[in-house]
Amino acid sequence: MNMGRSVEIWVGLFVAAGFAAFLGLAMQVSNIPLFQTLDGYDVQLRFNNIGGLRERAPVTMSGGRVGRVKSIELDARSFDAVVTVTIDRNYNEIPEDSSASIYTSGLLGEQYIAIDPGGLDFFLEEGDEITLTQSALVLERLIGRFLTSMGDGNDDD
């Protein structure tokens, strides 16, 4: 009886470890950092339309992650989306005249911000704002424009 109890305990521990590994994997895939905090400096971006951009979305530069989206707010005066991103302190020489765009990873993937470096010798610091931004490409709006342009054509054939 003692041997059977020992096997049950080991199986229970193995199943619990499997659930913990599955939970950690799910958190990693869904961009929910459980035990990691990003030490960096905050930069603000203004967009007319952020599409489906969410907090904790990656901020990339040349394809590599350099930060994450910290918060998204609406400016009550200009009605622009003000996105605050945290850039990792290791990337402290991003030129001030850099531009930022919102892209979609794959056809239906998550949205992320890509920073294209500028050429100035002055670098972004805590509290700076990137003014050159390109809003998200909203697929529904693009399809709507395509359909209305198709409807405007002359069918005099």
Sheet holding 132-134, edge to edge: 129-130, 40-47, 81-88, 64-74, 58-61, 111-116, 99-104, 132-134
Q: What are the C-alpha distances in Å from 18 to residues 8, 11, 60, 65, 132?
A: 15, 10, 32, 29, 46
Which two three-digit tokens encode residue 65? 């992650």
The Cα 109–Cα 121 span in angstroms is 35
The Cα 123–Cα 49 span in angstroms is 26
The Cα 97–Cα 120 span in angstroms is 6
Are the CB atoms for 99 and 116 separated by under 8 Å? yes
Which two three-digit tokens encode residue 3? 């041997």
The Cα 95–Cα 29 span in angstroms is 31
Mean pLDDT of 91-101: 91
pLDDT in tens, 3-48: 778 888 999 999 999 999 988 887 776 666 655 666 889 999 999 9
**Domain residue extents for the chain:** 1-30, 40-139
Q: How confident is the model at residue 104 (pLDDT cuts 50, 70, 90)?
A: confident
Are the CB atoms for 110 and 104 separated by under 8 Å? yes
Are the CB atoms for 54 and 83 separated by under 8 Å? no
pLDDT in tens, 110-146: 889 999 998 888 999 898 999 899 888 777 777 888 8
pTM value? 0.70
